[in-house]
Chain A
Amino acid sequence: MRKTVFLGTVAAASMVAGIGMADTLADVKARGELNCGVNTGLAGFAAPDANGNWTGFDVAICKAVAAAVLGDPSKVKYVPTTGQTRFTALSSGEVDVLARNSTWTFSRDTDLRLDFVGVNYYDGQGFMVRKDLGVTSAKELEGATICIQTGTTTELNLADYFRANNMNYQPVNIDSNAEGEQQYMAGACDAYTTDASGLAATRAAFADPENHIILPEIISKEPLGPAVRHGDSNWGDIVRWTLYALIAAEEYGITSKNIEELAKSSQNPEVQRLLGTTDNLGAMIGLDAEWAKRAILASGNYGEIFAANIGEQTPIGLARGLNAQWTQGGLMYAMPFR
């Protein structure tokens, strides 16, 4: 069901045709563009450069989905969302996919009517402090002032952690990562808490990273993943299996470099199914046979995306850790393509 609202003043130019609640795939195809909700600016995960081109780990998911569905990874409209507006943007239909390092929790999955389709980054909440404070454990933060981003699960975890350990703290509420860094650098808070990946990225960008340490305690599980609206299972399947395609590709050694060659020559039946050489898996989710191939070509397999945006070679410098393939001792485990 599509409708076009026409308002005389701002003419057709600024109008975007409607989004059906029931059939997101048809709407995305009709629109020729994927609306993807991303962070307003978090280095490594999603940030616009000076020309407005978006890059990052989350952005790569958007590109892969767009490539799978529309055949072109550039057909994405990035909708910057704040911590406050992200879930509403999804449920109101403003975005089709929310790839904004959001934590998969029970209440979000049920009460907020979202469907998390998978996990693209296993994270946990940590603390960063200045070395000269002499603090070596989060347990020593009694009475400390702690910078915390409002509207995130970290805010709740922090309250729970200090309550559970019977400690006091003074929160300083901030509303963006940039502001958090500013406050922390100026010494307006003793500790900065957010996802460990964010801390690492923040610390890496400091002029003097050696003077700051990340405390060993990880106080929560933060499985970050893309989410879609509840109630459109087919669209959820598409996003979920696009993510799995990226993860599986790494497992089978399919990279953006060798993909064409493997598509022709690979004898591995799983690879053949994934790349659409045999069996038309795509038809089962309303796409064509080569959907996964295009998704992988968009910015490479999961490992390539990780390495290019947040890996050890980048300024962010994150190790794979939990996010290694299950074969390497990590948690990244794509369901079988069969």
Chain B
Amino acid sequence: MSETHAQTVAFVRDTMLAPEPPPVAESGAVKWLRENLFSGPVNTVLTLLGVAIIWFLVSHFWDWFAHSVWNASSLNECRQIIIETWGEGARGACFAVIRERWNQYMFGFYPSALYWRPTMAFGLMFVALAPVLFSESLKIRRTVLVVTAVVTLWAMVQLNAPGAWLVFAAIVLVGGLAISERHVSWLLIFSVLYPLLGVWFLWGGSLWGPIMVLVGPLLGWAAWTLVGRFSALLATVAAIVVTLLWWLMFASRAAADAEGLLSLAIPFVRSDQFGGFLLAITIGVAGIALSLPLGIILALARRSDMFLIKSMAVIFIEFIRGVPLIALLFVASLLLNYFLPPSTNFDIILRVIIMVTLFSAAYMAEVIRGGLAALPRGQYEAADALGLDYWKAQRLIVLPQALKISIPGIVSTFIGMFKDTTLVTFVGLYEPLKSMSDAVRANIAWKGIYWEPFIFVGFIFFIICFGMSRYSMYLERRLRRDHR
């Protein structure tokens, strides 16, 4: 059949034609444009709208940005330079204010000779965080720690840190890096010690204070092991009582005595000298560190079978979540002194940290409660079947999984809290956004400068918060893979 057919065909192609290029509309940039920007009337309108928005922003702000002045000592000088360089009537940004007041924005009124201390504390924080936040991936951990070490040491050299402290920081940073290569969980010891160290670096004073604080739990542990032979419950009570007794009655005296014997003091810096991003980060980190454990306890209490415990947790959480943070800050600044014995009075920063902690702990509790609820019931039943008691079940089975599920929520609570640190301006603290910028503007040289400080402060906040949220998304993806 085929042969006869073959002979009837007048023309047979014996060479292949080169393939035609696809139609212009179906290839390359045009195809991409058509599919992504102009696929229909609605899309076309949206694209034009988008282009119009971008054009509006660029045409209004580009020349202002492009004509930035980074080196001047007053707003008038800035304007002078702009007019000289780009002609009469030119607009321009005066970022020179950031350059000149950089230290004030970063450290507030912290003594300039001691700038290296908060810098070091900030750098070491990443070592302390490594086993908690970066435990999932060796590569990320390595990158973070190397970058931290280099940047911290460079900054400390720039800020004229004393040699001994440079060596100390280098040892901790490099040591942390080395340990994290093999046994990242060993670094947890440093994570536990870091809060005390950080407080000491920031405020200074005698190292004996933090040491004596640390002695409390150690004594409690000793009491626990001693009494533990007789009764587990009594041991717990004894541990708590001993720790509290030590803290309330003996710790400050012991610290003073020890300081008398061997001085371990570095210059003391008062809280009212904190300001700028140092203040925001101090409040933020302290609030984060304290609100997480409190939030876990509240979440467990709210899910407890015990009626009284549960109701108290519900009342606390719902009360805190129902009022604005600014009202709680006013409680910190105006009312807290009413609630404490007539002769006590303590630091406004500490009071603010307490209130911020309570505030975010309530939100944290709800996030963690969500994580606890999302855990399959089988996990709880399995823990019971293994005969674990409540605390062991929570510690070994429930919480590790529930916390992992809650990571995105926890991080977004952190981000929210960090952003909310700007509200302390309303109780007279020098946070960077409003108070510090007002203080800068109170100087005649910088009177009338608005946009540049806003942009600068906003930019820093954006970097920190965006970084945190991206990292949490990464972590979320990674943890999900582990579950599969």
Contacts and interface: CB of A to CB of B under 8 A. Distances in A.
Q: Is A in direct contact with B (CB under 8 Å) within the complex?
A: yes
Interface of A: 1-16, 18-21, 40-43, 47-48, 50-52, 77-82, 84-85, 88-89, 92-94, 176, 178-179, 181-182, 185, 205, 207, 315
A248 B71 CA distance: 49
A185 B343 contact: no
A50 to B, nearest CB: 6
Contacts of B199: 9-11, 13-14
B428 A81 contact: yes
B210 A11 contact: yes
B118 to A, nearest CB: 14
Given A40-B435, A79-B272, A182 B448 contact: yes
B11 interface: no
6 contacts: A2-B343, A11-B209, A42-B442, A48-B439, A77-B272, A92-B345
A94 B350 CA distance: 13
B451 interface: no
Contacts of B203: 10-11, 13-14
B109 interface: yes
A311 B464 CA distance: 46
A9 B290 contact: yes
B251 interface: yes
Given A6-B247, A8-B213, A50-B101, A205 B444 contact: yes
Nearest to A78: B272
Interface stretch (B32-40, B132-140, B332-340, B391-399): B332-340
A14 B252 contact: no
Given A4-B252, A13-B199, A48 B109 contact: yes
A8 B346 CA distance: 14
A85 B427 contact: yes
B108 A9 contact: no
Given A14-B347, A40-B428, A77-B270, A21 B342 contact: yes
Contacts of A89: 333
Interface size bucket, B side?
35 or more
A7 B252 CA distance: 10
Contact of A11 (B108, B213, B344): B213
Given A16-B346, A43-B444, A51-B112, 19 more contacts: A9-B195, A10-B199, A11-B196, A11-B213, A12-B209, A14-B349, A19-B343, A50-B101, A52-B108, A77-B270, A78-B272, A80-B272, A92-B345, A93-B345, A94-B345, A178-B438, A178-B441, A182-B450, A315-B444
Contacts of A181: 447
Nearest to B271: A14
A12 B443 CA distance: 35
A207 B76 CA distance: 10
B273 interface: yes
A20 to B, nearest CB: 5
Contacts of A13: 199-200, 203-205, 209, 268
B439 A41 contact: yes
A85 B112 CA distance: 29
Contacts of B205: 11-13
B459 interface: no
A6 to B, nearest CB: 6
A12 B264 CA distance: 14
A5 B344 contact: yes
Contact of B345 (A7, A16, A51): A16
A7 B216 contact: no
B62 interface: no
Interface in B111-166: 112
Nearest to B427: A85
